[in-house]
């Protein structure tokens, strides 16, 4: 009698657990299918390589694609040396104490600050105080702060995974610390570090709230070669910003076109990270 | 170590020690960057958020319920905005956490390998989808559904203001979906970290797999799961772009079918054109959000520490 009730309870639990897991997968399926159906119609060569123009009556996101690439590359140029350096310090140089605890606490705090507050700070500090205004550079500096925790965390994990025997071996052969870091630790930790960088690309590509009031919403392509350099100091809206603005204007055709492009990018980023992690696991095992 | 150094000639030794020292100093500077960043973010948000507090009056600003920034006699009460963020986040967590934890259990304990190979990447992909896309789908899928529900429910109501489906409930659903990946991942990790001996002992005593999960493993993984929940609260509270259009855009009491404004969406929708005192009040809203988030961070630190002690 009691056994039957227990079995019933068990089955109920199994049912609930399977339902929830199925729900998570179904959510993703709905999102992918819906965006694909609604967005596929907007995608064309003209959409991807043209620029929005009321005069010619064309829509296109080439300017936003270029802006997004600028933002990704420049942000990573700023953030990766600082993030990787900071992880090296924490893992290889630091002795436990107040400074390390403070760095750890602030890194965790940065990770928890919502992107809209990064946006506010970026606008106030980089935009107003440093007088960079609405520009790609302002956006990149803001995003740099936002992705630091991600890079620091992944690099630290990767360095921790390098066996101590490597360090002892290098030291035993007379290598200095910096030499050992350069030639042994960083190469061994490379897959983990790259995973962190790719994840950061994902965060940057998907970010919007921190960019709205920092990088602005410019959507034009530079007309001259110098224009591509001065672009850094001009306003430039990423794909996500253009998506948001089109959605606010109820221009859903463009919005879903951009959504599809973004989903494809996110999909490939996920694929890459999985591949690298798998490869790294194979090497270490 | 010292001996090998001494055998080298003095020139390379000096060269080495210069680059060694430079490297160490550079890495230390890198590490101080996060401290500098958090300090300046705090400084700027506080100094820009405070003036309006005094100009409008602390109680009037924080607890006032009338938001008329553009009126001839402007009123800046953000009481409903704060309340909306609290209620919306709470509801989203109540909805998202059970689903998330159960899916975490599925991945850590129940799933056959083949199913886990589908669910795990799906969750990772969900985590990577940009928030504006969640917003877009909320507007296109959820809002029309909500509008139908609204029409059916308030058919005979004379006082209800129709929102076209852009209401608190839609925003809560979007937020609940968005915190799922965080909660799932943290629960899975926490469950996997439980000592396998506990499981074997429980099973050996005759408990079924489900009884073991719910009566032994979940309590043992509690602190990790709590950390996941706190992280989820932070995400829901701080999300802006996904819910700006989904939640409607008027300041109202957070009832399910009211068009509402959150702390985050207030900033997004008005910062573009606000000026003077109105703009300063928006900074105060940012400061309020910051204070909430810092509180959550401290909670999170405690939860993590408890786990580390264990």
Average pLDDT over residues A50-65: 83
3-state helix, strand, coil in chain A (%, to 5): 80, 0, 20
Beta bridge partners of A61: A51
Distance CA B38, CA B54 (A): 25
Q: Which of A260, A90, A255, A92 is nearest to A162 (CA)?
A: A92
pLDDT for the residue A6: 87
The torsion angles phi and psi of A129, rounded to 5 degrees, stand at -70, -45
Residue of A nearest to B296 (CA): A112
Per DSSP, the residues of A200-262 read HHHHHHH--HHHHTTT----PPPSSTTHHHHGGGS----HHHHHHHHHHTT-HHHHHHHHHHH
- The runs of H, that is alpha helices, within B57-78 are 58-63
Question: Quick one: pLDDT band at residue B9, thresholds 50, 70, 90?
Answer: low
Strands A51-53 and A58-61: antiparallel
Please give the share of chain B, as a percent, with pLDDT higher than 70.
94
Average pLDDT over residues B69-89: 91
pLDDT at position B7 over 70: no
Say whether A21 and B103 touch across the interface (CB within 8 A): yes
Say whether B135 and A178 touch across the interface (CB within 8 A): no
Distance CA B216, CA B239 (A): 34
Q: pLDDT, tens digit, for every residue of B81-95?
A: 999 999 999 999 999
B189 reaches A (C-beta below 8 A): no
The answer to which of A57-71, A156-170, A214-228, B208-222 has the lowest mean pLDDT is: A214-228
CATH superfamily of A45-284: MetI-like (1.10.3720.10)
Q: Which of B56, B65, B53 is nearest to B260 (CA)?
A: B65
Helix (H) or strand (E) segment spanning residue A58: strand A58-61
The torsion angles phi and psi of A230, rounded to 5 degrees, stand at -70, -15
Q: pLDDT, tens digit, for every residue of A22-56?
A: 999 999 999 999 999 999 988 888 888 888 877 77
Question: Quick one: pLDDT band at residue B15, thresholds 50, 70, 90?
Answer: low
pLDDT at position B1 over 70: no
Say whether A206 and B130 touch across the interface (CB within 8 A): yes
Which residues 49-78 of B have a C-beta within 8 angstroms of A? none
Mean pLDDT of chain A: 91
Token output for A181: 């870091």
Residue A55 Cα, gap to closest chain B Cα (Å): 26
Q: pLDDT, tens digit, for every residue of A267-285?
A: 999 998 888 888 877 776 6
Strands (E), B224-303: none
Token output for B204: 């050996």
Q: pLDDT, tens digit, for every residue of B115-135?
A: 999 999 999 999 999 999 999
Strands B75-76 and A51-53: unpaired
pLDDT for the residue A76: 96
pLDDT for the residue B11: 56
- Predicted model pTM: 0.91
Token output for B114: 């083949």
Greater model confidence, A218 or A147: A147
Token output for A6: 């227990």
B111 reaches A (C-beta below 8 A): yes
pLDDT for the residue B155: 82
Say whether B31 and A181 touch across the interface (CB within 8 A): no
Residue A94 and residue B31 in contact, taking contact as beta carbons nearer than 8 Å: yes
Average pLDDT over residues A250-259: 92
């Amino acid at each position: 009698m009691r056994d039957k009730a227990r079995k019933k309870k068990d089955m109920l639990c199994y049912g609930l657990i399977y339902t929830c897991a199925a729900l998570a997968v179904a959510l993703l399926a709905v999102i992918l299918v819906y965006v694909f159906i609604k967005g596929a119609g907007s995608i064309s060569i003209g959409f991807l390589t043209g620029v929005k123009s009321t005069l010619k009556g064309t829509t296109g996101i080439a300017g936003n694609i270029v802006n997004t690439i600028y933002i990704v590359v420049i942000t990573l140029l700023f953030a990766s040396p600082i993030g990787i350096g900071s992880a090296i310090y924490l893992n290889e140089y630091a002795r436990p104490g107040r400074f390390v605890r403070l760095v750890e606490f602030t890194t965790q705090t940065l990770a928890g600050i919502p992107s809209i507050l990064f946006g506010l700070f970026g606008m106030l500090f980089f935009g107003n105080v440093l007088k960079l205004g609405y520009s790609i550079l302002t956006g990149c500096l803001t995003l740099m702060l936002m992705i630091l925790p991600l890079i620091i965390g992944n690099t630290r994990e990767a360095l921790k995974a390098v066996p101590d025997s490597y360090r002892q071996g290098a030291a035993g052969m007379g290598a200095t610390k910096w030499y050992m870091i350069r030639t042994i630790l960083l190469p061994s930790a490379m897959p983990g570090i790259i995973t962190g960088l790719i994840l950061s690309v994902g965060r940057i590509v998907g970010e919007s709230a921190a960019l709205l009031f920092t990088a602005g919403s410019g959507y034009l392509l530079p007309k001259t070669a110098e224009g591509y350099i001065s672009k850094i100091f001009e306003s430039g809206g990423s794909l996500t910003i253009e998506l948001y603005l089109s959605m606010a204007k109820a221009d859903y055709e463009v919005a879903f076109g951009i959504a599809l492009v973004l989903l494809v990018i996110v999909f490939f980023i996920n694929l890459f990270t999985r591949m690298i992690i798998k490869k790294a696991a194979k090497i270490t095992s | 170590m010292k001996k090998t150094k001494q055998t080298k000639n003095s020139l390379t030794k000096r060269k080495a020690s210069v680059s060694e020292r430079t490297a160490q100093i550079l890495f230390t500077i890198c590490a101080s960057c996060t401290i500098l960043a958090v300090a300046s973010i705090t400084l700027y948000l506080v100094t820009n958020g405070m003036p309006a507090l005094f100009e409008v009056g602390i109680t009037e600003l924080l607890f006032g319920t009338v938001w008329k920034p553009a009126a001839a006699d402007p009123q800046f009460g953000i009481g409903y905005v704060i309340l909306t963020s609290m209620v919306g986040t709470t509801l989203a967590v109540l909805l998202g956490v059970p689903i998330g934890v159960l899916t975490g259990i599925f991945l850590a304990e129940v799933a056959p390998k083949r199913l886990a190979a589908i669910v795990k990447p799906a969750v990772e992909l969900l985590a990577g989808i940009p928030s504006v896309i969640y917003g877009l789908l909320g507007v296109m899928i959820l809002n029309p559904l909500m509008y139908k529900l609204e029409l059916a429910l308030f058919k005979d109501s004379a006082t209800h203001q129709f929102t076209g489906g852009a209401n608190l409930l839609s925003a809560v659903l979007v937020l609940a979906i968005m915190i799922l990946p965080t909660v799932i991942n943290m629960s899975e990790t926490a469950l996997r970290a439980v000592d396998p001996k506990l499981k074997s002992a429980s099973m050996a005593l005759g408990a079924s797999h489900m009884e073991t999960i719910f009566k032994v493993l979940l309590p043992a993984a509690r602190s990790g799961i709590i950390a996941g929940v706190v992280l989820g609260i932070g995400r829901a509270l701080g999300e802006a772009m996904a819910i700006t259009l989904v939640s409607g855009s008027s300041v109202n009491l957070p009832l399910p079918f009211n068009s509402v404004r959150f702390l985050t969406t207030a900033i997004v929708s008005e910062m573009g054109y606000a000026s003077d005192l109105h703009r300063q009040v928006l900074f105060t809203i940012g400061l309020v959000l910051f204070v909430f988030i810092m509180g959550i961070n401290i909670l999170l630190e405690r939860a993590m520490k408890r786990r580390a002690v264990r």
